[in-house]
A and B are shown apart, each in its own frame.
Chain A
């Protein structure tokens, strides 16, 4: 009996302790600075976005966003702790404070922006849902997919878009729904399904890294949805939100003005273009407005590189994926990536 009482008392004590810890939720930025580390939620490896290398280091454009933010706030792009966030629990992980930022191919939607208590940064990748089929089926368009068996992961917008698209086009399909991404892709590559649907970039990444013979599969031209992928963080700390946005803008601006990781030192020392001088902090003032020092953007470019470099390294020609930039080209080259001026 004594044990019971003791347990109960202990439970009550722990409960009180729990309540006490709620007080901290306030300034995310201060918490990050105090911790000296940015906690970044990323998914299970998906080449191009977040990939855990054999050396235990993460790479990918979503990872680069976290590194850029860490470089801006903490001065070192390596001061990031990566926490695995599953498709299902990722929002709870942000809401509960388990991660500071979710940089994990998350589609920006109205519900998520509002009802889930999140804010979104700048769109780091313009994506859309696509279909991948084995070449030998001879399918040329998604409109020919009536009656097909489709492999899809549950718990995402993907599953709903899929049903919507087939209904809109009066086609039937059979779904094979498997929770685990590895399993669902294995099912597709072993021929359990005719079609695999996911974000087009995810399909390309899967084809390159998982398909037994990548050349045997084609991604159909239709994209059936808009998937603007952006970093997500808790609603409430506006200053942190500003830094998340401007860290990405700095990478875009750097590309637009030709600043790269290789030439940034030279630019900083020699360049006289007033825009570049503002970006790199030779003309002071910009960092202070963000609550950072003036070298913030310089550090991002020096340690992470500009947006174009990040893309080429992780998804473009310098990577295994060899994805075209498509919509993610700068606005000056006919794409959608457009950063507000740093001034």
Chain B
């Protein structure tokens, strides 16, 4: 086609049915028209069906009382809350497990990936077996297995009522109960202090870099940072009157009351997602490191860097360029795979929507919310990773 346009100047007049531009448009109109017809057909049917079955449409249901309980939520919710709130709980739960899963899978995956390249044959083999075992069995099966394992191997709350660790931490088939500090204004201030510490730490790092570039003098950035992030909140805690009140879980009736609980469904989903995805991450990390030319390692060794420094300063920055793009799709996979929660009873977005669809009959709106929510999360992750990828990309001069 490119050839034709280039030659039009001298070519004899082409009949319209042979003109590539016209043909292209005709074809597009045809395809889009047919697609439009199909969509029209589906929409018409849907409207007919909704009308005939008297199913309501629109998003009015979002404000109505949901009427069902959700077992695991970190924001306020009760049966008297609205459907909109129930869906929000679902979104928060999805994000909670996805974000934690991404962090844990990255760490574990990187360790296993590096382990596979270890000079220690046993370690390398164990890592290889790990990768193959988790990659080649469906995630859903892992989730069911882990969920059932937790459920069936741990004792009920009454059986462990007097067997807790320090009488404060209890591991039961209802989850892991841990004590949490009682509500106190100092906690909020400590959080703020931690944020401030991170900010200062970042500034120190910039300054230290600049100084090292200029003078060659090094500054113990890591130690300073560690000191800041521990010290600053500690000072605030002292200033806030050093609150020590703890809410300790205690058996009351059927379950423990007080403290905080990590529910088994959440743990099962998180563990399953982490183990499964870390196997893929390990492979990505491994191939990323292998992609760095051997000479780089040897050169770094030759100028006297330690093995840790070689990894941290020479290998990883270069490997990251290969690692980051495929990692993005793994992060997206974790987010999407978290929807398997529905099979083991963790109340994520899909579970919330599913109940909503059942109670209101408004399937179209429900599915629409799922799609929009996942698309926006996916898009945010993609955008962030693309930005990060650009940042670490090789700057060619």
Contacts and interface: CB of A to CB of B under 8 A. Distances in A.
Specify whether A and B are partners: yes
Interface in B339-353: 342-345, 347, 351
B345 A178 contact: yes
A159 interface: yes
B304 interface: no
Interface residues of A, number: 46
A162 interface: yes
Q: Which of B79, B152, B252, B351 has the most CB of A within 10 A?
A: B79
B244 to A, nearest CB: 27
Given A11-B34, A117-B53, A155 B358 contact: yes
B345 A176 contact: yes
A241 B102 CA distance: 56
A177 B71 contact: yes
Interface in A154-187: 154-156, 159-160, 162-164, 166-167, 173-180, 183-184, 186-187
A164 B343 contact: no
Contact of B265 (A5, A163, A176): A176
Interface in B241-262: 252-255, 257
Given A149-B254, A177-B345, A8 B34 contact: yes
Given A146-B253, A176-B345, A190 B152 contact: yes
B31 A4 contact: yes
Contacts of B361: 115-116
B261 to A, nearest CB: 9
Interface string B11-45: 00000000000000001001100100110010000
Contacts of A11: 34, 38
A88 interface: yes
Contacts of B328: none
A269 to B, nearest CB: 49
A162 B355 CA distance: 14
A12 B33 CA distance: 11
B355 A15 contact: no
A1 interface: yes
A311 B249 CA distance: 49
B52 A163 contact: no
Interface size class of B (residues with CB under 8 A): 35 or more
Interface string A1-39: 100110010011001000100000000000000000000
A95 interface: yes
B257 A163 contact: no
Given A114-B54, A149-B255, A178-B345, A192 B264 contact: yes
B52 A180 contact: no
Contacts of B148: 186, 190
Contact of A191 (B54, B68, B151): B151
Nearest to A191: B156
A15 B151 CA distance: 49
Nearest to A137: B254
Contact of B52 (A117, A145, A162): A117
B70 interface: yes
B173 interface: yes
Contacts of A162: 69
Contacts of B31: 4, 8
A15 B41 contact: yes
A294 interface: no
A194 interface: yes
B254 A167 contact: no
B240 interface: no
A147 interface: yes
Contacts of B52: 117
A147 B255 contact: yes
B174 interface: yes
Interface in B68-83: 68-71, 79-80
A167 B79 contact: yes
Contact of A163 (B55, B68, B255, B344): B68
Nearest to A88: B358
A194 B27 CA distance: 64
Contact of A179 (B54, B354, B359): B354
A192 B343 contact: no
A15 B40 CA distance: 11
A327 interface: no
Contacts of B257: 147
A177 B347 CA distance: 8
B199 interface: no
B265 A154 contact: no
B67 interface: yes
B77 to A, nearest CB: 11
B152 A177 contact: no
Given A95-B53, A149-B255, A177 B173 contact: no
A177 B54 CA distance: 28
Contact of A154 (B37, B156, B264, B351): B351
A146 B345 CA distance: 22
A192 B252 contact: no
A160 B151 contact: no
A148 interface: yes
Given A8-B30, A177-B345, A163 B67 contact: yes
A187 B151 contact: yes
Given A147-B252, A154-B358, A179-B354, 9 more contacts: A11-B34, A88-B358, A147-B254, A154-B354, A174-B255, A175-B70, A179-B342, A186-B151, A187-B151
26 contacts: A4-B31, A11-B38, A12-B34, A12-B37, A12-B38, A114-B54, A115-B55, A115-B361, A117-B54, A146-B253, A147-B253, A154-B358, A163-B69, A164-B67, A164-B79, A166-B79, A174-B255, A176-B71, A177-B347, A183-B343, A184-B345, A186-B151, A190-B151, A192-B173, A192-B264, A194-B255
**Closest 6 A-B residue pairs measured CB to CB?**
A155-B358, A163-B79, A178-B345, A8-B34, A147-B253, A148-B254
